[in-house]
Amino acid sequence: MSIIEDYLKNAGGLWLKAETVHDGYRMKVEQVWLDDDTFDKPYICAAGVNAQGDAVRVRLGVQNVQRISDVLGTDAKDWEGQYLEVIGTQSYPGMSAKGILWRGAKRQTADKPKPKQEEF
């Protein structure tokens, strides 16, 4: 791979792009914050891990935040430990970029940590 191709492939670091996800892709949310420094306007962002255990980050627009909060609620702390799931991608007219469409997905009972049992 050329240095140009490598640069383009890895640009953005941990930030997910439409080209790197698929329908059903999930990330477990570890942190949610309002980022008003990185982008041209403030966005809600989330960091977490994907199914392979890789650290990932995602920038969420208003429509994604609305869809996610319909399931996970409006308190960012309630999102932690839950999942974001890709439901598709969308091309934006006049732009050469695609966006990721997300929804919230609550963790299943099997995903919850098991309580410690006391030893006798």
Residue 64, CA atoms < 13 Å, CB-side half-sphere = 19
Q: Is the dihedral of CA 31, 105, 76, 61 positive or negative?
A: positive
List per-block mean pLDDT (blocks of 10 residues) for the chain, which spans 120 residues: 65 81 97 92 96 95 96 97 97 82 86 57
Phi, psi of 12 (to 5 degrees): 100, -15
Rg (CA), the chain: 16
Alpha carbon distance 52, 27 (integer Å): 10
Q: Quote the pLDDT of residue 52.
A: 94
pTM of this prediction? 0.77
Q: Is the dihedral of CA 13, 17, 20, 25 positive or negative?
A: positive
Q: Quote the pLDDT of residue 94.
A: 72
Q: Quote the pLDDT of residue 115.
A: 57
**What domains are defined for the chain?**
10-107 (2.40.50)
